[in-house]
């Protein structure tokens, strides 16, 4: 890392990697501890996720048997909790119970999102797995995608089905939007850029009838 403070720590090897606009690289822990300011160049440099470096490091060897104990950040806005994934799961259900939506694998659920609601946190009731529903505004509509909070897995066992159905929408009798894809894992929302490959696009015209939309989802796990 160009100015990484976590070189010898476990999370350096398995966390997300961030780079500033001048391509100086840091792990997400350093980015957080430095108030998202690059120590090598402009103090107010903007950051983005360095997925190329992540893939290179992920390809260097097999999975560590202790990977599941690696640290992750709490996804709730304003919470600075950072710790092992197993403890994060208990922290989330204990400290942020009113801020999460609980679900079970392989069952269909419904959540309501405001068009300007940045994200929603889901937690599986059996094993405590944590998922993040990102809702990003664009000129042509909202991009909705899903990721899992946790260590990277080379072949993801998690998949998502998203669906939106609306009757008498604008000029059409019925609107139906669907997405099925694998879910990637991330360790922190800091510097994370929602997927631009696997997402459900909700057209901007959808919100002419209100400021919310209902999202149906089903998350599956291969070994459940």
Q: Are residues 76 and 28 in the same domain?
A: no
| pLDDT tens-place string over residues 186-195 | 877 766 666 6
Q: Are residues 52 and 91 in the same domain?
A: no
Question: What is the model's pLDDT at position 10?
Answer: 43
Q: Are residues 201 and 102 in the same domain?
A: yes
- What is the 3 state secondary structure string of the chain? CCCCCCCCCHHHHHCCEEEECCCCEEEHHHHHHCCCCCCCCCCCCCEEECHHHHHHHHCCCCCCCCHHHCEEECCCCCCCCEEEHHHHHHHHHHHCHHHEEEECCCCCEEEEEECCCCEEEEEECCCCCEEEEEEEEECCEEEEEEEEECCCCCCCCEEEEEEEEEEEECCEEEEEEEEEEECCEECCCCCCCCCCCCCEEEEHHHHHHCCEEEEEEEEEECCC
Tell me how many domains the chain contains.
2
pTM, rounded to two decimals: 0.68
Identify the band that residue 29 occupies on the pLDDT scale cut at 50, 70 and 90.
low
């Amino acid at each position: 890392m160009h100015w990484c403070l976590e070189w010898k720590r476990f999370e350096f090897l398995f966390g997300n990697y961030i780079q500033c606009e001048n391509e100086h690289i840091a792990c997400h822990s350093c980015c957080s501890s430095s108030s998202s300011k690059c120590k090598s160049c402009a103090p107010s440099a903007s950051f983005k996720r360095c997925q190329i470096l992540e893939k290179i490091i992920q390809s260097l060897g097999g999975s560590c048997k202790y990977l599941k104990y690696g640290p992750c950040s709490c996804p709730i806005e304003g919470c600075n909790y950072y710790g092992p994934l197993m403890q994060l799961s208990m922290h989330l259900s204990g400290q942020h119970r009113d801020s999460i939506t609980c679900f079970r694998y392989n069952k269909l659920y419904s959540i309501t999102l405001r068009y300007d609601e940045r994200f929603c946190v889901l937690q599986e009731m059996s094993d405590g797995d944590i998922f993040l529903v990102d809702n990003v505004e664009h000129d042509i509509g909202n991009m909705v995608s899903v990721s899992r909070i946790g260590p990277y897995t080379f072949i993801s066992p998690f998949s998502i089905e998203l669906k939106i159905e609306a009757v008498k929408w604008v000029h059409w009798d019925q609107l139906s939007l669907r997405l099925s894809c694998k879910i990637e894992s991330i360790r922190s929302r800091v510097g994370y850029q929602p997927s631009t490959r696997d997402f459900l696009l909700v057209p901007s015209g959808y919100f002419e009838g209100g400021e919310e939309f209902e999202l149906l989802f089903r998350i599956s796990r291969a070994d459940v």
